[in-house]
Amino acid sequence: MDSTTTTFMVFLCIIGAVLLGMALRRVLPEEHLKVDTRDAVKLAMGLVATMAALLLGLLISSAKDSFDAARNDVAQLAAKVAFLDRALQVYGPETAAARTRLHAVMNESVAQLWPDRDGAPVNMAPDAQAGNPFYKVIQQLVPRDETQSSLKGQIVATTIEIGQLRELLAAHATPSISQPLLVIVVSWLVVIFLGFSVVSPTNLTVGLALLVTALSVTGAVFLILELDQPFVGLLRVSGEPFFKIIAGLAH
């Protein structure tokens, strides 16, 4: 289920809790709505609201860390690909086949992570065999002097690092937010809005205040879900570093 649908369902649950609370207020006996009772309910809801706020903050922080890690992986991967291509170019004309293969692999990776077609799914699973032909080609290079020998060592090491980064990128793209934890937070939010709507007077001002608050907390849930999926949805890791590198590889 995508983040937009999930957020909309959370919003409906919260609005449902508000409407239920307003309905309960009309049918509850008067002694249940006395000042002392309302104060006790507000204290209880305040405690739940504090816990929910803390947990929401932790979830947002965790999702943001995951998003930043994926963005950092993309930047490092793009930089290493650029360095690898330059090292192959400096090595000599015998690396032409290796560079062609490198360009093909990078174009394929970009197409998987940032598909051009609308609605095309993002494929985060790296092809374990895609880099094998390229690795074999560079291993078959025979250095003619000390400079080429040094360059070959750097090329092989960088190739291995790129493979490791690609695997790490796939790992960071895996959602890190626990679904049960998110369900608990949403449950707390429902309880909070239910309690406040029961003890609050039924008028337009209160209704608008609860609506704005509901939109705010569902916005926080939406932000958590979007940041936790760095290559899907509205908030996506930019592929600009890779696009620039791919454009440069063509020259």
pLDDT in tens, 44-101: 888 888 888 888 888 888 888 888 888 888 888 888 888 988 898 888 888 888 888 8
Pick from 40, 179, 5, 155: nearest CA to 94: 155
- Which tens digit of pLDDT belongs to each residue from 123-166? 666 565 666 777 788 888 888 888 888 988 898 899 888 888 88
User: 4-34 as b/e, with b when 16 or more CB fall inside 10 Å?
Assistant: eebbeebbebbbebbeebbeebeeeeeeeee
- Which tens digit of pLDDT belongs to each residue from 88-133? 888 888 888 888 888 888 888 787 777 764 455 666 665 656 667 7
pLDDT at 131: 66
- Please give the Cα distance from 26 to 37 (Å, whole number): 15
Q: What is the pLDDT averaged over residues 231-242?
A: 80
The rounded mean pLDDT for the chain is: 83
Cα distance from N-terminal residue to C-terminal residue, the chain: 42
Pick from 90, 133, 86, 145: nearest CA to 108: 133
Q: What is the pLDDT averaged over residues 216-243?
A: 85
Q: Give me the DSSP letters along 1-58.
A: --HHHHHHHHHHHHHHHHHHHHHHHHHS-GGGGSHHHHHHHHHHHHHHHHHHHHHHHH
pLDDT at 176: 75
pLDDT at 190: 92
pTM for the predicted model, two decimal places: 0.77
pLDDT at 121: 60
> What contacts 90, CB < 8 A, 6 or more positions away?
151
pLDDT at 215: 92
- Asked if residue 236 has pLDDT above 80, the reply is yes
